[in-house]
Structure 1
Amino acid sequence: MILLGFDVEEFDMPFEYGKSITFDEQLEISTRGTHTILALLKQKNIKVTFFCTANYAINKPDIIKQMVTDGHEIASHGYYHSDFKIEHLRQSKLALEDISRTEVTGFRMARMMPVDEAEIAKAGYEYNSSINPTWLPGRYNNFDKPRTWFYDHDVLQIPASVSPLIRFPLFWLSFHNLPLSLLKRMASATHKKDGYLNLYFHPWEFTDLHDKEKFGFPGYVSKNSGEAFARRIGDFIDWAMDNGYTFRRTDGFCETIKNKNKQEPVLH
Structure 2
Amino acid sequence: MQLKNQAAIVTGGASGLGAATARRLAAQGAKVALLDLNTTLADTVAKEIGGIAISCDVSDAASAEAAVVAAAKAHGPARVLVNCAGIGVAKRVIGRDGPMALGDFDKVIRVNLIGSFNMIRLATDPMSKLEPLETGERGVVISTASVAAYDGQIGQSAYSASKGGIVGMTLPIAREMAQFGIRVLTIAPGLFMTPLLAGLPQEAQDSLAAAIPFPRRLGHADEFASLALHMIDNPYLNGEVVRLDASLRMAPR
Same fold by TM-score, threshold 0.5 exceeded? no
**Structure number with higher relative contact order (C-alpha < 8 Å, ≥ 6 residues apart):** 1
Q: What's the TM-score bracket when you normalise by the shorter of the two chains?
A: 0.3 to 0.5
TM-score by length of 1: 0.39
TM-score by length of 2: 0.41
